[in-house]
């Protein structure tokens, strides 16, 4: 999958954006406000297979009136594709087809590590970080925050 800048996407200039941090067991989801100022963790889904995951994400996008979806792409630090890269690309394609929305991939390098550090510094205990999928939601919010920053920078 080609790397793209946020400005190269065909998404409306206003409206909520849903962000997804896909995983084999859990899927973190975050949502922007309509003006795209804030990126907030939304929920964590338990993965139930591709078809069910796509359906759940499409329902969330519709429920929250998202105009686009951003999916984290797992790159290694050297820029090569991570082990679950192909699965993330398939998720992008399936979401695009099922939702009719613009769906793109976005570099997710270090978001899970950054999310974990953020939660530790906020005093969230290890059992709460893991058990409730908090890290996954926060990682999705970090992906979305990076994407929103790129949109803002491309508009200036």
Q: Note whether residue 6 is domain-resident.
A: no
The CATH number assigned to the domain holding 88 equals: 3.30.420.140
Query: Looking at the domain assignment, is residue 53 inside a domain?
Result: yes
Distances, alpha carbon 109 to alpha carbons 33, 38, 80, 97, 140, in Å: 24, 20, 11, 26, 12
88 belongs to a structural domain: yes
Interval 68-123: pLDDT, tens: 999 999 877 677 787 788 999 999 999 999 999 999 999 876 555 555 566 566 56
User: What is the value of pTM for the model shown?
Assistant: 0.83
Q: Would you say residue 4 lies in a domain? A: no
Full domain range(s) for residue 22: 14-155
Asked if residue 8 belongs to a domain, the reply is no
Residue 148 included in any domain:
yes
Task: Please give the structure tokens belonging to residue 115.
Answer: 């999310």
Mean pLDDT in residue range 28-50:
95
In the predicted structure, residue 36 carries a pLDDT above the cut 80: yes
116 contacts: CB under 8 Å, gap ≥ 6:
129, 135
* Nearest C-alpha neighbor of 107 from the set 55, 143, 68: 143
> Do the beta carbons of residue 88 and residue 32 sit within 8 Å?
no
With a pLDDT cut of 90, the percent of the chain lying above it is 54
pLDDT at position 82 is: 75
More confident residue, 23 or 65: 65
Question: Quick check: is 5 in a domain?
Answer: no
Euclidean distance between CA atoms 119 and 56, whole angstroms: 26
Q: What is the mean pLDDT of the chain?
A: 83
Please report the pLDDT score of residue 91 as a whole number: 96
Confirm whether 2 is domain-assigned.
Answer: no
If one compares 115 and 152, the residue with the highest pLDDT of the two is 152
CB 102 within 8 A of CB 68: yes
Q: How many domains does the chain have?
A: 1
Q: What is the pLDDT of residues 127-145, one digit of tens each?
A: 554 556 777 888 899 999 9
Tell me, what's the pLDDT at 3? 45
pLDDT at position 1 is: 46
């Amino acid at each position: 999958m080609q790397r793209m800048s946020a400005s190269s996407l065909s998404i409306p200039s206003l409206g909520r954006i849903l962000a997804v941090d896909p995983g084999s067991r859990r899927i973190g989801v975050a949502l922007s406000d309509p003006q795209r100022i804030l990126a907030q963790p939304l929920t964590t889904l338990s993965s139930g297979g591709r078809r069910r995951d796509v359906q759940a994400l499409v329902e969330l996008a519709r429920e929250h009136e998202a105009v686009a979806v951003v999916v984290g792409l797992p790159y290694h630090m050297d820029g090569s594709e991570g082990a679950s890269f192909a699965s993330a690309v398939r998720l992008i394609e399936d979401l695009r087809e099922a939702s009719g929305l613009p769906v793109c991939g976005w570099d997710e390098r270090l978001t899970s590590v950054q999310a974990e550090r953020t939660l530790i510094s906020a005093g969230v205990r290890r059992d709460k970080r893991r058990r409730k999928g908090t890290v996954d939601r926060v990682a999705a919010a970090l992906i979305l925050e990076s994407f929103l920053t790129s949109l803002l920078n491309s508009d200036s």
